[in-house]
Amino acid sequence: MKFAKIPMATINRLSIYVRTLQELLEGDVDVISSERLAKQCGVNPAQIRKDLAYFGEFGVRGVGYHVADLVNQIKEILGLNRTWNLAMVGLGNIGSSMVRHGNFVKHGYIFTAAFDVDPQKVGKKLPNGLIVNHVDELEDVVRERDVHIGVIATPASAAQSVANQLILAGINGILNFAPVQIQVPDCCHVENVDFTIKLDCIAYHLSSGV
């Protein structure tokens, strides 16, 4: 399913909606109004209706949304009606924590490969059963294990080289935790996660009183 010119903010909110809806589903909620859903997601009802309208018609006027149906529909939109295999490159504090975090599996993201250059880490078995491979083996292992998304948690100095290896291995989606902007071809989508940028936003609001 492909849609053109969808604002990234809308995609981000869809992720919030589907997680909220899944919690409601687990709580045996069958139908929910846009007003109640909006309140639980921290947005207004009009925003939810506008976001969903990009993708078609949802819900029943005067009734609301059938929770199970809306979960499935949003999952299809986001490509979450399947599992995604991940490769972690860099097993420092961030990388190690992510690989052993059960929340990724819950949402359909499975770490199927892990890489490092540290001799004390290469060859070790991780809590999820993965054996850490040397980064020199990245291209072969990524292809062998059908990895879809690469996660970079290396020092900044190694990030671009790792990104190049991932792209050569056929990876077109990268989540980058290294504190540097990596350069990739147009076919590859990168999401950069820099916690200090988020802290800058908080600092701005605290300092300006906004």
pLDDT tens sequence across 168-198: 999 999 999 999 999 999 999 999 998 888 8
139, 168 Cβ separation under 8 angstroms? yes
DSSP state for residue 195 in the 8-state scheme: H
Domain 8-78 listed as CATH 1.10.10.10: yes
Residues annotated within the binding site are 90-95
E strand intervals along the chain: 31-32, 65-66, 84-89, 109-116, 133-134, 149-152, 173-176, 189-192
137-144: long-range contacts, CB 8 A cutoff, minimum separation 24: 138/87, 138/89, 138/162, 138/165, 138/166, 138/169, 139/165, 139/168, 139/169, 141/87, 141/113, 141/115, 142/87, 142/113, 142/166, 142/169, 142/170, 142/171, 143/169, 143/170
Residues annotated within the binding site for NAD(+) are 90-95
Residues of the chain with CATH 1.10.10.10: 8-78
pLDDT more than 90, % of the chain: 87
CATH topology of domain 84-196: Rossmann fold (3.40.50)
Residues of the chain with CATH 3.40.50.720: 84-196
DSSP state for residue 59 in the 8-state scheme: S
Highest mean pLDDT among 4-18, 95-109, 166-180: 166-180
Least trusted range by pLDDT, from 51-60, 68-77, 107-116, 171-180: 51-60
